[in-house]
Amino acid sequence: MDQEVKKEYVSVVAQIQIDGAIVPLAVILEDGREYEIDDLMDVCKAVSLKAGGCGIRYTIRIRSHVTYLYNEGSRWFVERRVGQLLH
């Protein structure tokens, strides 16, 4: 059975490159926990079918966990399973 997924808005530490590209470096959850992004694997326009919303989707790796980080204009969000904690 699939778990419920919610959109969780987060803060992002990012580098803006000379060409305007945004490179996220870390994700900060609402409770203050910060996770360094170990690898930026892909960037594309996409829709979050699980949590709703659309924008630029960054496929990222934090430790051994591959996940999506979305930029929808001026806000960033991740898809979180209800009850899931990042380690």
Q: What is the pLDDT along the chain (87 residues), one digit of tens a residue?
A: 467 888 999 999 999 999 999 999 999 999 999 999 999 999 999 998 888 888 999 999 999 999 999 999 999 999 987 765 554
pTM value? 0.86
CA distance 36 to 25: 6
Q: What is the pLDDT of residue 86?
A: 55
Cβ neighbors of 35 (< 8 A, separation 6 or more) are 26, 27, 28, 29, 62, 86
Q: What is the pLDDT of residue 81?
A: 79
Q: What is the pLDDT of residue 2?
A: 62
